[in-house]
């Protein structure tokens, strides 16, 4: 009787190890997939930027430094590897694009140009998709990290070659800053 109980316990342990291992592998693959989703959206963003720069180049001849900053930031972002380096490079690119969009407001021809408006809309849409993809990635990576660090699954983490996934974090203080909104109305003194 003791042999049967021992055998049942052993089978349960083996089945649990197999299940935990498979779950960690599934989460690891989900993290990789979530990262690829970010990569797809960033590729789209990187492809749109040269079109935008070429569209505004002629009208913004005096803003050459801004256009060059956008292209340099894009090139840095394209060459970035890893979560941390990519997040930093994409933050710099977002700032450079923000300066470019702000400058286009000063040029009436650009504000009315349908190509510029369409490219800005596509970039804004892509930015939203990147944001959603980053959120999915961080959620999936956190789930994976939690699973591999909690007992008893951490006993199997080494077998699954599970290592913590790096989260996408905002490191730039300007990106992290909360916008200042002032809703007070200055009433003339009566």
pLDDT single digits (tens) 85-115: 999 999 999 999 999 988 888 888 877 888 8
Of 175 and 92, which is predicted with more confidence?
A: 92
How many Cα neighbours within 13 Å face the side chain of 31?
A: 23
Residue 173 confidence (pLDDT) = 60
Residues 116, 106: Cα–Cα separation, whole Å: 13
pLDDT bucket at 178, cuts 50 / 70 / 90: low
Q: Which of 57-71, 115-129, 150-164 has the lowest mean pLDDT?
A: 57-71
- Mean per-residue pLDDT over the chain, rounded: 88
Cis peptide before 152 (omega within 30 of 0): yes
What tokens does 9 get?
């316990």
Is the confidence at residue 44, as pLDDT, over 60? yes
Check residue 161 and give left, alpha or beta (phi > 0: left; psi -120 to 50: alpha).
Answer: left
Residue 181 confidence (pLDDT) = 45
- What is the tens place of the pLDDT at every residue in 4-38? 999 999 999 999 999 999 999 999 999 999 999 99
Find, among 94, 88, 120, the residue nearest to 107 by Cα.
Answer: 120
Is the confidence at residue 187, as pLDDT, over 70? no
What tokens does 58 get?
């002629």
In this prediction the pTM is 0.80
Residues 139, 133: Cα–Cα separation, whole Å: 10
Of 58 and 119, which is predicted with more confidence?
A: 119
Residue 106 confidence (pLDDT) = 81
């Amino acid at each position: 009787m003791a042999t049967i109980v021992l055998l049942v316990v052993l089978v349960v342990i083996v089945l649990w190890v197999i299940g935990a291992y498979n779950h960690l592998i599934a989460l690891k693959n989900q993290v990789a997939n979530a990262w690829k989703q970010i990569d797809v959206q960033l590729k789209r963003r990187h492809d749109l930027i040269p079109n935008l720069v070429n569209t505004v180049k002629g009208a913004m001849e005096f803003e050459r430094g801004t256009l060059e900053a956008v292209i340099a930031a894009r090139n840095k972002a394209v060459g970035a590897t890893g979560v941390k380096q990519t997040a930093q490079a994409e933050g710099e690119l977002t700032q450079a694009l923000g300066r470019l969009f702000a400058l286009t407001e000063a040029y009436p021809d650009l504000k009315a140009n349908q190509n510029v408006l369409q490219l800005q809309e596509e970039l804004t849409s892509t930015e939203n998709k990147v944001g959603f993809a980053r959120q999915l990635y961080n959620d999936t990576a956190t789930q994976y990290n939690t699973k591999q660090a909690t007992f008893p699954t951490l006993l199997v983490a080494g077998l699954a070659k599970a290592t913590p996934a790096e989260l996408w974090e905002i490191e730039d203080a300007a990106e992290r800053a909360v916008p200042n909104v002032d809703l007070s109305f200055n009433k003339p003194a009566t």
